[in-house]
Amino acid sequence: MSVIYDRVALIGLGLIAGSMAHAMRQNGLAGEIVGYARSAETRQTARDIGLCDVVYDDVTDAVKDTDLVVLAVPVGAMGQVAAEIAPFLKPGATVTDVGSVKQSVIEAVAPHIPDGVHFIPGHPLAGTEHSGPTSGFATLFRNRWWLLTPLPGSDELAVQRLTDLILAMGAKTDRMEPAHHDLVLAVTSHAPHLIAYTMVGVADHLRRVTDEEVIQYSAAGFRDFTRIAASDPTMWRDVFLHNKEATLDILGRFTEELFMLQRAIRMGDGQQLHDYFTRTRAIRRGIIEAGQDTNAPDFGRVSEGATKP
């Protein structure tokens, strides 16, 4: 593949930015990859593993003369970072982000973007429970969706160029209105994460079940909850604070469904439970048929000793 951006700056060097660096390097998509992280320890780790060609100690140095700037910081920090880098952005450059909330990011970042710089919000629907500069890998985005929410009047050539990069990293891409994106993600990601955190918290507080029993006898359902609940706490704190309305809407609907299931269990209504589970089972089949998960035994978990893809 050919170079799409001569110089790419990754601001924040965690799982997503690290995976982008690996994917761009593996496919020859960037002439130079530079980076910055707030933590000196993170910056040093990134240098030690050669994650970027250059890791800067000052965010403004990282974005100078850069063609693509990727904001890969927690949602709550986006506005502050945008304000810091704004005076140093190259005319004609593109700024994108990888936050899982779009409306609040647009509100925080867009006012700082100078005329002549293209701001194209984005969100890769890919990740693991791991974080930090050593967690990334080149195939993270393969066959995953990367949603873009361009602003009205966005330069189509700039949007297409970013789209070309996303596709070249192995992802699929689509465009969506910011408000609709936030509602969709509240259903598919944000509310499920909060439920997972809650279920693990319930196990922690249920004193009739010991910690040893929870760990030793975890069945697949609870084990998956603990994997989700191990995700970066700062990132998820910001997600819930910045997608409040959509998340509360979905949690309200979830509560109504839960009450209905509670009543069915209490009343011994097996038919209602069976019908409900039959409908929801079809969603799982649809996810597998769409290529967004595997029906392999044990949910396709990599066995001990196996290498990461």
CA distances from 168 to 11, 16, 156, 302 (A): 21, 15, 18, 26
Give the C-alpha separation, 12 to 15, whole Å.
9
Q: What is the pLDDT of residues 49-88, one digit of tens each?
A: 999 999 999 999 999 999 999 999 999 999 999 999 999 9
Give the C-alpha separation, 254 to 183, whole Å.
14
Q: Closest Cα to residue 96, out of 225, 8, 224?
A: 8
pLDDT band for position 241 (50/70/90)?
A: confident
pLDDT band for position 298 (50/70/90)?
A: low
pLDDT computed for residue 187 by the predictor = 86
Angle between the N-to-C axes of helices 270-289 and 244-267, in degrees from 0 to 180, rounded to the nearest 10: 140
Give the C-alpha separation, 252 to 257, whole Å.
9
pLDDT computed for residue 214 by the predictor = 61
The pLDDT > 90 percentage for the chain reads: 61
Domain range 180-300, its CATH number among 1.10.3660.10, 3.40.50.300, 3.30.70.270, 1.10.8.620: 1.10.3660.10
- Give the least confident one: 21-25, 152-156, 274-278: 274-278
Q: Which amino acid is at 32?
A: E
Superfamily of domain 5-176: NAD(P)-binding Rossmann-like Domain (3.40.50.720)
pLDDT computed for residue 189 by the predictor = 82
Tokens matching residue 195: 């439920």
pLDDT computed for residue 232 by the predictor = 77
Q: Where in the chain is the domain with CATH 3.40.50.720?
A: 5-176
Strand ranges inside the chain, DSSP E: 5-11, 30-36, 54-56, 68-71, 94-97, 118-119, 122-124, 145-148, 172-175
Q: How is 20-59 classified by DSSP, letter by letter?
A: HHHHHHHHT-EEEEEEE-SSHHHHHHHHHTT-SSEEESSH
Q: What are phi and psi of 170, to 5 degrees?
A: 100, 0
Tokens matching residue 287: 């996810």
pLDDT at 206 over 70: no
Q: Closest Cα to residue 182, out of 106, 247, 110?
A: 247
pLDDT computed for residue 305 by the predictor = 39
Q: Is 28 left (phi over 0), alpha (psi -120 to 50) or beta?
A: left
pLDDT computed for residue 7 by the predictor = 98
Report DSSP state, residue 117.
Answer: -
User: Which residues make Cβ contacts (< 8 Å) with residue 261, sequence separation at least 6?
Assistant: 273, 276
User: Which residues make Cβ contacts (< 8 Å) with residue 177, sequence separation at least 6?
Assistant: 149
Q: Where in the chain is the domain with CATH 1.10.3660.10?
A: 180-300
> pTM for the complete prediction?
0.79
Give the C-alpha separation, 2 to 168, whole Å.
10
Quote the mean pLDDT of the chain: 88
pLDDT computed for residue 79 by the predictor = 96
CA distances from 52 to 15, 48, 59, 127, 156 (A): 13, 10, 14, 20, 29
- Give the least confident one: 159-173, 188-202, 270-284: 188-202
Q: What is the pLDDT of residues 84-108, one digit of tens each?
A: 999 999 999 999 999 999 999 999 9
pLDDT computed for residue 217 by the predictor = 59
pLDDT at 212 over 70: no
pLDDT band for position 19 (50/70/90)?
A: very high
For residues 10 and 126, is the Cβ–Cβ distance under 8 A?
no
pLDDT at 302 over 60: no
pLDDT band for position 301 (50/70/90)?
A: low
Q: Closest Cα to residue 84, out of 68, 108, 53?
A: 108
Give the C-alpha separation, 35 to 31, whole Å.
14
In this predicted model, which residue has the larger pLDDT, 294 or 143? Answer: 143
**Residue 133, helix vs strand vs coil:** coil
pLDDT band for position 237 (50/70/90)?
A: confident
pLDDT at 257 over 80: yes
Report DSSP state, residue 76.
Answer: G
Q: Closest Cα to residue 99, out of 120, 119, 122?
A: 122
